[in-house]
């Protein structure tokens, strides 16, 4: 039985803006993605049996066709044109409905893992073509690092790496459904837009990180009513975060800290109040 283990990283959005909507209902985005060192662990094995089987350490995570990892395995094998058994074990650390891309990262890991197990039959651009059918941010997780994205989030431009920055990420008890978040965006009459293009250009120009934060932000903060989000953000800023905001359309909040000590002090305070709080780093 062939087997591979892959760590699937979470992401944060240093900037996220909704700039339009297509006729088919998809929203047009401008964002800067950043991978962080918080991982789900995906174990994939191929056998002579048939069917896709998923297990997960989190009881409420669906282990059927609703799971993006399942969908990734199914579409990969359909493209590959053979019928084999696939076993996927998900060990999740990335929280759900957090805007950190856990499901999308898992799906990308499954695509990469199956491709490796079956002899790298698809190139990376070909995998991206498969990935975008699963979700607009899945292609990003095939590359990772720091990247600008537009369109529906699928058009990627790699940016110079912002690695080893100290990050605290935390999530309260409430979650935010992505469809509901976009409905609220559609109803917005006035909003504060982050300067995503300025952030993109500043990163490309090699600006010092302390000059980047003025361009960061997330339009979804304008439609989020969860008290935990504002409390976590305010706590991070009081504890010395250089910048703090929501990630994605979900309810997690991240803060950037100048020192490891300051990051851990903030994390420890948040961990006493909320079910999820971690220290991690940005990764390339």
Which residues are known to be catalytic?
11, 137
Q: Residue 25, exposed/middle/buried by CB under 10 A (0-12, 13-18, 19+)? A: exposed
Are 253 and 236 in contact by the 8 Å Cβ rule? The answer is yes
Burial 31-54 (b: 16+ CB within 10 A, else e): bbbbbbbbbbbbbbbbeeeeebbb
The torsion angles phi and psi of 23, rounded to 5 degrees, stand at: -65, -25
Look at strands 243-246 and 146-150 and give their pairing.
unpaired
Angstrom distance (rounded) from CA 267 to CA 236: 9
Helices assigned H by DSSP within the chain: 68-80, 102-117, 124-131, 138-143, 178-187, 196-204, 227-238, 260-273
Closest-CA residue to 32 (of 264, 257, 282)? 282
Render the burial of 187-210: b for 16+ CB within 10 Å, e for the rest: eeeeeeebbbeebbebbeeeeeee
């Amino acid at each position: 039985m062939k087997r591979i283990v892959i760590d699937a990283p979470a992401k944060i959005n240093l900037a996220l803006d909704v700039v339009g909507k297509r006729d088919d209902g998809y929203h047009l985005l401008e964002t800067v993605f950043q991978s962080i060192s918080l991982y789900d662990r995906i174990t994939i094995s191929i056998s002579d049996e048939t069917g896709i089987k998923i297990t997960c350490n989190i009881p409420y995570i669906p282990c059927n066709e609703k799971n993006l990892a399942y969908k990734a395995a199914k579409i990969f094998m359909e493209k590959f044109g053979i019928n084999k058994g696939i076993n996927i074990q998900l060990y999740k650390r990335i929280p759900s409905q957090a805007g950190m891309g856990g499901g999308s990262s898992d799906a990308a890991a499954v695509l990469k893992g199956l491709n490796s197990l079956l002899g790298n039959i698809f190139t990376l651009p070909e995998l991206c073509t498969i990935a975008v059918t699963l979700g607009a941010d899945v292609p990003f997780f095939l590359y990772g690092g720091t990247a600008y994205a537009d369109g529906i989030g699928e058009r990627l431009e790699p940016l110079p790496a912002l690695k080893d920055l100290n990050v605290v990420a935390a999530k309260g008890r409430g979650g935010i459904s992505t469809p509901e978040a976009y409905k609220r965006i559609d109803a917005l009459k006035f909003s504060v837009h982050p300067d995503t293009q300025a952030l993109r250009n500043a990163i490309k120009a090699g600006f010092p990180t302390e000059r980047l934060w003025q361009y960061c932000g997330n339009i979804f903060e304008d439609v989020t009513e969860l008290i935990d989000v504002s409390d976590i953000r305010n706590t991070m800023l009081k504890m010395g975060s250089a910048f703090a905001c929501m990630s994605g359309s979900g309810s997690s909040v991240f803060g950037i800290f100048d020192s490891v000590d300051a990051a851990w002090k903030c994390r420890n305070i948040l961990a006493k109040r909320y079910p999820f709080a971690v220290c991690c780093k940005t990764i390339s």
